[in-house]
Amino acid sequence: MSAAPDPGGRRPFLIGVGGGTGSGKTTVAERLAAMVGQRELALVKLDSYYCDRAQLPFEERAAINYDHPDAFDWPLLMAHLELLLGGQSAAVPVYDFASHLRTEEVAMVESGPVVVIEGILVLFEPRLRQLLDLKVYVDADPDVRFIRRLQRDVADRGRTPSSVIDQYLTTVRPMHLQFVEPSKRYADLIVPEGGHNRVAIDLMKVKIKDLLRERDAG
């Protein structure tokens, strides 16, 4: 996939933020967006691109392995990144995690000088990885990641503690070991402690600010 550059001959700078569930990668990406500013940074989340499985009953949708690469609509994501890297906006799906369905709504994401894509398998997918200008892996201890996922899924996604634990043991942990953890070797920068690592976030912020200044000067 190739994206058209902006009128100055430069395409947006694409940053990939990967890492395990509950590692803090979403916090890292959102803090970068807040610090840099929405006009300069477009944020896309891999979680928005779960495959549309509206044809399946709820019980079958609930049983899907959502941590496997096949759970994601990669062609749609790549098409949207092509739009953003070409300076256009993208109509990103809005996903309902309680029902395991895409809603009828979309979220319009405007392109910017910097585009960030975050998600568990961002550094695993080869086609996406080839596009990334900066690859970041957010790391955290397994027990911390599990506790964060448990709290999030119960509070925000309507899950029961027992269902979260069962999913973690049957799919989340095995998929992390098979796909997510090995993708760490592709990272340009590894961020321990996720969004709590102010030093790493500040370093990324400085890198982005320097990039934007170079673009403005050019």
- Taking residue 134's Cβ as centre, other Cβ atoms within 10 Å add up to 18
Strands (E), the chain: 13-19, 41-45, 90-96, 101-109, 114-118, 134-139, 189-192
For the chain, give every domain's residue range: 13-213
Q: What is the pLDDT of residue 218?
A: 62
**How far apart (Å, rounded) are the C-alpha atoms in residues 83 and 64?**
29
**How far apart (Å, rounded) are the C-alpha atoms in residues 60 and 66?**
12
Return the higher-pLDDT residue of 35 and 147.
Answer: 147
Spatial contact of 56 and 63, defined as CB atoms under 8 Å apart: no
Mean pLDDT for all residues in the chain: 89
**At residue 5, does pLDDT exceed 70?**
no
Q: What is the pLDDT of residue 197?
A: 86
**How far apart (Å, rounded) are the C-alpha atoms in residues 210 and 24?**
24
**At residue 22, does pLDDT exceed 60?**
yes
Tokens representing residue 80 in the block: 């949207």
Spatial contact of 115 and 84, defined as CB atoms under 8 Å apart: yes
Q: 0.75 cut: is pTM over it?
A: yes
CATH class of 13-213: alpha beta
**At residue 116, does pLDDT exceed 50?**
yes
pLDDT (tens digit per residue) in 100-110: 999 999 999 99
